[in-house]
Amino acid sequence: MTTRPNPSEPAAAAGEVGFDAKLDKRIGDTLKHYPTPRAALLPVLWLCQERYGWISRPVMATVAGKLGESPAYVEGVVTFYTMFRTRPPARFVLQVCRTLSCAVCGGRELIAHLKAKLGVDFGEQTADGLFELQAVECLGACGSAPVVQINDDYYEHLSPEQIDAVLDRLRGKE
């Protein structure tokens, strides 16, 4: 993996996007808290994902340019961490815990129910772009198993009937 920008290939030479002033300022403020721009890469990527919902190649190129890294280095980091998205998310992303406590408290049945109900497997979105199913490991709420995180909210002690009601409510928000 490249560790320094290649001077013969200017970082973010092509395909950059213009960040809005607010994002630019937040990135600038973040950089002040780190000894080197590279050290700030993860928090800067978080800011971008928060702003756009995912991290596209042009966004990676722009980040690379701002931090003096190569686009390849930034892409390597983005694609290494599953927490970063490289494609637009569905309106509602369901992160379903499949770790032991949830699995033995109805999680397996819940997962089977969700896959059948939504007609998608893990990593897929419904055709209308409304729901996306993701498998995750322990969400840190084992005492409330089984647990599903939908966007930023936790839904706990879920039965298939309860998750159906949640999905209906979310559909109603559209």
Contact positions vs ligand FES (CB under 6 A):
97, 99-102, 138-142, 145, 147
CA 75-76-82 angle, to 5 degrees, is 90
Closer CB to ligand FES, 48 or 136, in the complex: 136
Q: How far is the CB of 114 from ligand FES (least distance, A)?
A: 15
CA 62-63-66 angle, to 5 degrees, is 90
Q: How far is the CB of 64 from ligand FES (least distance, A)?
A: 36
Q: How far is the CB of 89 from ligand FES (least distance, A)?
A: 21
Closer CB to ligand FES, 72 or 141, in the complex: 141
- In the chain, the amino acid numbered 98 is R
Q: How far is the CB of 147 from ligand FES (least distance, A)?
A: 5
Closer CB to ligand FES, 78 or 97, in the complex: 97
Q: Tokens for 112?
A: 């089977």
E strand map for the chain: 92-97, 131-136, 148-150, 153-155
As to burial, measured by CB atoms within 10 angstroms (0-12 exposed, 13-18 middle, 19+ buried), residue 142 is: middle
Would you say 123 and 161 are in contact if contact means Cβ atoms under 8 Å apart? no
Q: How far is the CB of 144 from ligand FES (least distance, A)?
A: 7
CA pair distance 143, 122, nearest whole angstrom: 24
CA pair distance 40, 34, nearest whole angstrom: 6
Closer CB to ligand FES, 97 or 111, in the complex: 97
Closer CB to ligand FES, 74 or 147, in the complex: 147
